[in-house]
Amino acid sequence: MGPFPLFGRLVAASVRGQARYPMSTLMLTLGQFLATGIEMVTIWALFDRFGEVRGWRLGDVALFYGLVNVMFAMADALGRGFDVLGTEFLRTGAFDRLLLRPRTLALQLMAHDVRLSRLGRLLQGLLVIAFATSHSGIAWTPATVALGLFAVAGGVALFLGILVLQGTLSFWTVESLEIANVFTYGGVEAGQYPLAIYERWFRSILTFAVPLAAVAYYPALAVLGKADPLGAPAWVGWVSPAAGFVFLGLSLIAWRAGVRHYTSTGS
C-alpha cells in the first residue's frame, strides 16, 4: 500500500475510534469551538471601546484571526503524534514499534490520533473569516482565494514544523515539553493581530525565526489590498507563504537527526 492510501486508512481508523464516543466527541468539539472562539470576544470588546488599533479595523483583525486559527486547527489535528511523542511513545517504548514498520515515521505519527474536536477551532476560524469578509468588504477573486489557500497550506506546514521540532526535542528530554506552546498557542495568540502593532524585536522573531508573518500577515495584507505600514513591497505576500514549507523541511531534517540519536527506553 502506498503512503497516501495508508495514511488515509490510519486517519479513518482514528476517526472511527472517536465516533464510538459520540457525546464525548461532540462536547469536546463544542468546547474547542467556545474556548477558541472566546478570544474573539476580547477583540470585539477592545474595538468597541477603542474604535481601531493603529489604523486597523475590526474586520481586518478578524481576517488575521480567522486565518491563523484555521491553520493551527489543521496542524494541531495532524501534529498530535509529535506533540505527545515524549509521553506516549518514547517513555513507554512504543516508538520501537513504529520503527519496526517499513513505513515513513512522520507519516505514522501524523496519522496518530487525528482528533475530530479540532473541527471546533476550524469551524470557528472559518466563521470569523466569513465575518471579516462581510465587515471589511473583502471581494474574493480567484487570485485571492488561491493566495488564501496557499497561505493556509504554508501556515499548516509552519505549525506542523513547530510540532515536529517539539517532538524532536523530546528525543533528548524524554518528556513532552510544554515550552513549545510558546510558539504554537503563543503563535496563534500573536498572529491574531497584524504584526505591525508589535515591537520591533518581537516582529523580528515572528518574521525570521518562526515565519508566522510570512504565512499570515503578508498574504492577508495582499487579500485586504492594504499597503504594509512597515514598507514591504506588495508582491511579498504572494510568495512569502513558501517560507512555511521551508520551515517544515528544516524541521524534518532536525527530526532525522533526532531519530538517529534515539535509544530505546523499553526493555
Please identify, among the stretches 10-18, 41-49, 144-152, 228-236, the one whose residues bind other proteins according to the rule CB under 8 A.
Answer: 41-49
Q: Would you tell me how many other CB atoms lie within 10 Å of the CB of residue 265?
A: 14
48 binds other proteins (CB under 8 A): yes
Identity of the residue, 10 or 61, whose beta carbon is nearer to other proteins in the bound complex:
61
Q: Which of 16, 22, 23, 260 binds other proteins (CB under 8 A)?
A: 23
- What number of chain residues touch other proteins (CB under 8 A)? 39
Q: Mark 49-88 with x for binding to other proteins (rule: CB under 8 A) and - for no binding.
A: xxxxxxx---------------------------------
**What nine digits make up the cell of 226?**
492594504
186 binds other proteins (CB under 8 A): yes
**Which cell numbers hold the place of 69?**
486559527
In eight-state DSSP terms, residue 103 is S
Amino acid identity of 18?
A: Q
Determine the interface stretch with other proteins among 8-16, 43-51, 141-149, 154-162 (rule: CB under 8 A).
Answer: 43-51
Answer whether 250's CB lies under 8 Å from 211's CB: no
Site for other proteins (CB under 8 A): which residue of 7, 10, 14, 28? 28
Cell numbers standing for residue 5: 492510501
Using rule CB under 8 A, residue 46 touches other proteins: yes
Residue 173 in contact with residue 86, Cβ under 8 Å?
A: yes
Return the residues of window 116-175 that contact other proteins according to CB under 8 A. Answer: 175
Q: Is 253 exposed, middle or buried (0-12, 13-18, 19+ CB in 10 A)?
A: exposed
Q: Cα(80)–Cα(163) distance, rounded to whole angstroms?
A: 8
Piece of the chain touching other proteins by CB under 8 A; list 70-78, 122-130, 132-140, 190-198: 190-198
Rule CB under 8 A: is residue 204 a binding residue for other proteins?
no
Interacting stretch for other proteins, rule CB under 8 A, among 186-194, 207-215, 222-230, 252-260? Answer: 186-194
The span from the CA of 69 to the CA of 212, in Å, is: 12
Q: What share of the chain is helix, strand, coil (3-state, %, to 5)?
A: 75, 0, 25
Cα(86)–Cα(182) distance, rounded to whole angstroms? 18
C-alpha cell at 178: 510544554
CB of 27 to other proteins, least distance (A): 3
Q: How far is the CB of 146 from other proteins (least distance, A)?
A: 31
> 3-state class of 53 per DSSP?
strand
The single residue among 12, 15, 19, 34 that binds other proteins, judged by CB under 8 A, is 34
Interface with other proteins (CB under 8 A): 23-24, 27-28, 30-32, 34-35, 37-39, 41-42, 45-46, 48-55, 175, 177-179, 181-182, 185-186, 189-190, 193, 197-199, 202
